[in-house]
Amino acid sequence: MSTFKVVHYINQFYAGVGGEEHADYKPELRDGPVGPGAAFTAAFGDKAKIIKTIVCGDSYFNENPDEAKKTLIDMIRDCGADLFIAGPAFNAGRYGVACGTICAAVSEQLGIPVLTGMFEENPGAEMFKDKLHIIATGSSATGMRTAVPKMAALGLKLAAGESVGASIEEGYLPGGARVNFFEKERGSKRAVDMLLKKLAGAPFVTEYPMPDFDRVAPNPAVLDITKATVALVTSGGIVPKGNPDRIESSSASRYGEYDITGVNDLTAETYETAHGGYDPVYANQDADRVLPVDIMRAFEKEGKIGKLYNKFYTTVGNGTSTKSSKHFAKEFAKKLKDDNVQVVILTST
């Protein structure tokens, strides 16, 4: 049996280039495995080999998706790969979107089997799980050890053109395609087992999950913005200098509510970002670049808006769970509503 040739895509962080300050790193083709490629090499044994690794900064990819895609496709085209693997990206949002985007492009334009891995809450998972195989991973790099063997196993199947089993067997995120397989127990027994667990209050897994259509219909437009109170909210982590409430730089467990009465401009001396998922230099120089208090104050003075709400709400949207974010916003949205705020401008990094 011949050894499959694999091309592996990773971001600047996993390549050891650097963190957020290097997130604008342009695509680079390297020989052999790099970073997590070593774990894949071990898992593949002699069945497959990483011949090339592509390194690309997360911000570069997401800010220039068309250019990045084109450059990467050109790099991959000449590699003669039997399989393309990206990540795993865990819960890193931009990395996940990059992995999904490039996998979809490689599959579509080059016809090479593709595979990636990410945490189910990664925005890239929602965007691409119905288009490609995404192995379900933990939320952080500590899940590497369990993710790699699953990715390697499915990767080998894809490279060999073997049929792929159901998501529950292979460990990928369900993408909506149905795959038939034989259960060990007959249906009546499984149903009774599930019922007994449910009655006992024990956890059980449904075999027929309801689709999750969590969409909220848009509210009507504001009738007169010149009389409306407008509030600013951000997931970009802007906080008063010193981060008084110690909002975590990632996986935030709390949000901040800060009074901006009389504040006309955010300065390097007074505000900063607590966010650990993007290069903080620009936000720390001038936090208005993320939370635009200066222009909103100007709008207020010019009568373009009624007034700027005297508080802003902020958290760090970096690996923060959907559940926490939902809880934060539910709590402060009620306050905004009670205070008759008519428009919210929410900024994200």
Partner 1 sequence: MVKEIERAGIPVVHICTVTPISMTVGANRIVPAVAIPHPLGNPALSADEEKALRRKILTTALEAACTEVDGQTIFEVK
C-beta closer to partner 1: residue 12 or 41: 12
Candidates 42-50, 103-111, 152-160, 340-348: pick the segment binding partner 1 (CB under 8 A).
340-348
Packing angle of the helix pair 65-77, 93-110 (nearest 10 deg): 50
* CB 139, min distance to partner 1, A: 17
* CB 134, min distance to partner 1, A: 14
C-beta closer to partner 1: residue 4 or 95: 95
Long-range contacts of 140-145 (CB under 8 A, 24+ apart): 140/90, 140/91, 140/319, 141/90, 143/88, 143/90, 143/119, 144/36, 144/39, 144/88, 145/39
Helix then strand then coil, % of the chain, to nearest 5: 35, 20, 45
C-beta closer to partner 1: residue 153 or 345: 345
Binding mask 46-85 for partner 1 (x = CB under 8 A): -------------x--xx----------------------
User: What is residue 65's three-state secondary structure?
Assistant: helix
Nearest to 339 by CA among 233, 260, 229: 229
237 contacts: CB under 8 Å, gap ≥ 6: 247, 249, 273, 274, 275, 283, 290, 314, 315, 316, 317, 318, 349
> On the CB side of 143, how many CA atoms lie within 13 Å of its CA?
19
* CB 293, min distance to partner 1, A: 10
Q: Which of residues 198-257 bind partner 1 (CB under 8 A)?
A: 214-222, 225, 228, 230, 233, 235-236
Q: Which of residues 125-154 bind partner 1 (CB under 8 A)?
A: 126-127
What's the distance, CA 188 to chain centroid? 39
- Give yes or no for a cis peptide into 123 (omega within 30° of 0): no
Binding mask 107-126 for partner 1 (x = CB under 8 A): ----------------x--x
C-beta closer to partner 1: residue 29 or 222: 222
Nearest to 272 by CA among 310, 302, 244, 233: 244
Binding mask 271-300 for partner 1 (x = CB under 8 A): -------xxxxxx-xx-xxx-x-xxx-xx-
Query: Among 83, 86, 92, 336, which residue interacts with partner 1 (rule: CB under 8 A)?
Result: 336
C-beta closer to partner 1: residue 4 or 60: 60
C-beta closer to partner 1: residue 126 or 170: 126
Query: Among 116, 250, 315, 318, which residue interacts with partner 1 (rule: CB under 8 A)?
Result: 315
Q: Are 55 and 73 in contact, with CB atoms under 8 Å apart?
A: no
Tell whether residue 348 is a contact of partner 1 (CB under 8 A): yes
CA atoms of 204 and 60, how far apart (whole Å): 42
- Contacting positions for partner 1 (CB under 8 A): 20, 23, 59, 62-63, 93-94, 97, 123, 126-127, 214-222, 225, 228, 230, 233, 235-236, 278-283, 285-286, 288-290, 292, 294-296, 298-299, 304-305, 315, 317, 325-326, 328-330, 333-334, 336-337, 341-349
